Structure 1
Amino acid sequence: MLMGWDWDWDWWTVDFGDAHAGAAGVLVGGSEPGPVYFDVGSGPDVPSTTHWSAYDGRARRPRAEALRAVCACGWRGAAEYPLDWGTIGYQPLYEADVDLAGPLADWTAHLSAVREAAVPLPETLAALLGAVAEQLTVTAADAPLAALRAAGVLERIAAGVGRTAVGALRDDGLSAESVATALGTTYSKALVLLLSAQDG
C-alpha cells in the first residue's frame, strides 16, 4: 500500500502514479453512493469519506451491499462482491473480516491491460532506474540528507528531460489520447502535458 495518499482510498501499488491507483469501492442500491459525512457538531468543515468501511449502516450511514474494484482513471470492475451481513452482524465494517481479494484481482487485471498498452521502457533504462531506486532506498536509511540531495538532483534532471520529450511530442503531432495510452495516464493529464509544451 502506498503511503501519503488520502486515507479515503485503499491505494494499491501502481506503476503509473495516481492516474491508475485502485481501491475497493461500494455499491448501494446498484450504484455508487456519495460520501459519508460525519457529524462533529457546528463548524464550517464537515469531514467526509468514501472509504468502503464507512458504509456500515451505522449512524444514519448507507449500508454497502457489495464491493467492486474502482480505479482513479474512472474504470469500474464489472464483478460485484456481495457483503454477507448475516455474518458481519452489527459490528463496524472496519472490524469485520472483509475479503478484498476479488476487487484487488480485478483492478490488477485492469492495470495489466494499461501496462500492455503503454510504451515499454528500454531494458537498459528500466534496469538503471531500478538500480537507482534501490540505491536511493538504502541511502535514505543510511544518509537521509544525501538521499534528499540526490532526489533533488533527479527531480531537476527529470524536469529537463520531460520538457525536451514533451516538445518532441508536440512536434510529432501526437494526440492527447495517444499520449495518455502510451504513458498509462489519463486524457486530462496528457492534455495538460501537451499544452504545457505550447506554453513553454
Structure 2
Amino acid sequence: MAGGNTWEGGVLVEWDWWTVEFGDAHAGAVGVLVGGGEPGPVYFDVGSGSDVPSTTHWSAYDGRAGRPRVEALRATCACGWRGAAEYPLDWATVGDRRLYEADVDLAGPLADWNAHLSLVRDKAALLPEPLAALLVEITEQLTATTADAPLAALRAASVLERIAARVGREAAGALADDGVTTEAVATGLGTTYSKALVMLLTAHGP
C-alpha cells in the first residue's frame, strides 16, 4: 500500500497511501490544518525561472522559509473526503528536525483512511468468489514471473490490458443500455463520478 504522485492543476500531490483495488480515485494522504483550516500548496524558491515547484505534502508545512506551520493532521482522500478526527502535531517532540526526518505518528490518519475505504468497499459491487480468487492468482503469477522472466510478465500484462479494455467497454455498454446512472456506476466501482462518466461515454467506442 505504497503512495504515489500525481499532478493536479500544476501542483504536485504526493499521496501517502494507494491501493490496487481503488487506484488514484481513493488515494489517501495526510492532510494538514493551520488555523483550523486547510491551507493551500506551499511553494519553494528555486531562484529564477517561470516554474515554481509546489506541493501539498504534509511534511512541507514546517514553518521554514515563510511556509505555514502545521498545527494538526487528519486523513484525506482523493475523492474529497476528509477525516473528522484531528491529530495535533507535537512540535516539542519534533524539535529542530524537518518533519520528514522526525518520527511523526501517522497511525491515526491511516486508520481513518482505511475506515473510509471500508465504507467505499461495502457499497461497491461484489465480485463473484471464483473471479476474485482468479484475480488473486493472476496477481501472484505475474509477480512471480516478473522476478524470473520480466519480458514474459510484460507481455502477459499487455494481453490482460487489452482483454480488460474490451470487456470493460462491453460491460459499460450493457450498463448504459440498461439506463444505469453514472452515480450508480461510480458507487459500484468505487471510483469518481468523472471516471464513471468517461467509461459510459466511451462504452461503444472501437
TM-score by length of 2: 0.93
Deviations 1:35-72 (A, max 9, x none): 11000001111111111000010111100000000000
Which portions of structure 1, spanning 4 or more consecutive aligned residues, are displaced by more than 4 angstroms? none
- Corresponding residue of 1:2: 2
1:116 has 2:111 as partner: no
Q: Secondary structure at the match of 1:68?
A: strand
State the alpha-carbon separation in 2 of the partners of residues 4 and 117 from structure 1. 25
Matches within 5 A, 1:38-117: 38-117=44-123
Query: Aligned pairs, how many?
Result: 200
- Percent identical among aligned pairs is 77
TM-score by length of 1: 0.95
Q: How big is the shift at 1:196? A: 1.6
Q: How big is the shift at 1:86? A: 2.2
Q: Secondary structure at the match of 2:108?
A: helix
Deviations 1:59-103 (A, max 9, x none): 111000000000000000000000011222232111111100000
Name structure 1 gaps, 5 residues minimum.
Answer: none
In structure 2, what residue type is equivalent to 1:127? A
Mean CA deviation greater in 88-97 or 160-169: 88-97
Name structure 2 gaps, 5 residues minimum.
Answer: 7-12
Q: How big is the shift at 1:3? A: 5.8
State the alpha-carbon separation in 2 of the partners of residues 122 and 199 from structure 1. 27
State the alpha-carbon separation in 1 of the partners of residues 63 and 71 from structure 2. 10
- Corresponding residue of 1:131: 137
Q: Which has the higher strand share?
A: 2
On the 8 A contact 2:33/2:71 being kept in 1, the answer is yes
Q: How big is the shift at 1:14? A: 5.0
Q: 31, 44, 58: which one pairs with 1:25?
A: 31
Q: How big is the shift at 1:4? A: 5.0
1:11 has 2:17 as partner: yes
**CA RMSD, aligned part only?**
1.4
On the 8 A contact 1:5/1:11 being kept in 2, the answer is no
